[in-house]
Amino acid sequence: MKLHPHEPPRVELAQLPTPVVELKQLAKRQGVHRLLMKRDDLTGLELSGNKIRKLEYMVAEALAQGSDTLVTHGGVQSNHCRATAALCARLGLHVRLILRSAGVVPEMDGNLFLDSLFGAECSYHSPDEYTSKLDELVAESLAQEAMSGRKPYFFPVGASVPLGCWGYIRCVAELVEQLGCEAPIDLYCATSSGGTQAGLILGRALFQCEKWSVRGVPVSDSSDYFRQKLSELVRETIGLYSLNLLPEHTPIELVEGYIGEGYAIPYPTAIETIRLAGRYEGLVLDPSYTSKAMTGMFADMATRGPDRVPVFVHTGGAFGLFARKDLLA
């Protein structure tokens, strides 16, 4: 079913709708009357997590353009790259991943192990090279693919472009079905490339859930950076798809102070949150995103009124934990 007259086409790949569950043990432990989780870690196994919702739209555009190859980039343990590799294998497409890696030969573990299992063609680049030469690396990969007779389609890290934002607009439509618009809900998610939070913000506005608040926890960059990045992404999406929304319908709300020393650098409270989620709910959080987001949520929900219902959007990433088992040893 179409969400909105201007919703772009999508290829159905994820297991949707994902369930909403009560976290009774964690709620008791954190002293709140109710704590819910949207299990977007269950969008699939290989295709798990938030990325696949966005990729459903990206891949539809790629196929419509006649592309047979997807090119994208991210960190060496990127969930986005792994989900892209898995969907390419499933759809019979070639995939090329440009990966940022501190070591020259990265360890084949976690998501990278799966990238290789799914047949992705990977190149590895030092953080300096990746940051300073990304545009050149992408152009080079696209040219090489074209020279090999393939038709590549490129999308940037996290698929956080207006088309990808539809993934989390759709997630809000599911939440409205599951929880109704009238409940005083605080939705929490990890924010990194921004498309997840931008989609939730747009969905909240489109489905007129005025009592909801969308509270992103930055895990990679400063709140100032995200205020600007999210405003731009939301504004571009509204413009591109002629959504009838004003800036006051799409407030940017961020829970600051939970990045730690930087992206993918864990810190003790976030590691403790991984332990708590495992011990009290049998849930797996990851070291880069969901552990920091849940740590931020625990602190933030204590400052909200007692009538508010926190809903954690579990965006997946479990494979990343396997590459960092040392944290819990």
Ligand X SMILES: Cc1ncc(COP(=O)(O)O)c(C=O)c1O
- Name the one range near ligand X by CB under 6 A: 140-148, 176-184, 186-194, 272-280: 186-194
State the nearest-atom distance from the C-beta of 73 to ligand X, in Å.
12
Instruction: Report how far residue 327's alpha carbon sits from residue 266's, in angstroms, rounded to the nearest whole number.
Output: 8
State the nearest-atom distance from the C-beta of 35 to ligand X, in Å.
18
Please report whether residue 158 would count as binding ligand X according to CB under 6 A: yes
Interface with ligand X (CB under 6 A), residue from 185, 206, 315, 324: 315
Reported as half-sphere exposure (CB side, CA atoms, 13 A), residue 178 has a value of: 19
Phi/psi-derived region of residue 251, left when phi > 0, alpha when psi is between -120 and 50, beta in every other case: beta
Please report whether residue 110 would count as binding ligand X according to CB under 6 A: no
Instruction: Report how far residue 216's alpha carbon sits from residue 252's, in angstroms, rounded to the nearest whole number.
Output: 8
Please report whether residue 190 would count as binding ligand X according to CB under 6 A: yes
Interface with ligand X (CB under 6 A), residue from 162, 194, 287, 310: 194
Looking at the Cβ atoms of 141 and 192, the one nearer to ligand X is 192
The DSSP result for 44-106, as a single string, is -STT-STHHHHHHHHHHHHHHTT--EEEEEEETT-HHHHHHHHHHHHHT-EEEEEEE-SSSS-
State the nearest-atom distance from the C-beta of 273 to ligand X, in Å.
14
Q: Using CB atoms within 10 Å of the CB of residue 57, give its burial: 0 to 12 exposed, 13 to 18 middle, 19+ buried.
A: buried
**What is the three-class DSSP state of 283?**
coil
Please report whether residue 77 would count as binding ligand X according to CB under 6 A: no
Q: How many residues belong to the chain? A: 329
Please report whether residue 160 would count as binding ligand X according to CB under 6 A: yes
Residues 270-289 as x/- pattern, contact with ligand X by CB under 6 A? ----------------x--x
Please report whether residue 84 would count as binding ligand X according to CB under 6 A: no
Residues 120-149 as x/- pattern, contact with ligand X by CB under 6 A? ------------------------------
Please report whether residue 40 would count as binding ligand X according to CB under 6 A: no
Looking at the Cβ atoms of 38 and 145, the one nearer to ligand X is 38
Instruction: Report how far residue 142's alpha carbon sits from residue 147's, in angstroms, rounded to the nearest whole number.
Output: 9
Q: Using CB atoms within 10 Å of the CB of residue 46, give its burial: 0 to 12 exposed, 13 to 18 middle, 19+ buried.
A: middle
Helix residue ranges per DSSP H, the chain: 24-30, 51-64, 79-91, 110-117, 127-147, 162-179, 195-206, 223-240, 268-281, 290-301, 318-322
Looking at the Cβ atoms of 118 and 289, the one nearer to ligand X is 289
Which positions from 195 through 214 interact with ligand X, judged by CB under 6 A? 195-197
Residues 262, 214, 155, 242: what is their CA dihedral angle, to the nearest 10 degrees?
A: -150
- Name the one range near ligand X by CB under 6 A: 24-32, 97-105, 299-307, 311-319: 311-319
State the nearest-atom distance from the C-beta of 193 to ligand X, in Å.
3
Residue numbers annotated as active site: 78
- By the criterion CB under 6 A, which residues form the site for ligand X? 49-50, 79-80, 158, 160, 190-197, 286, 289-290, 315-317
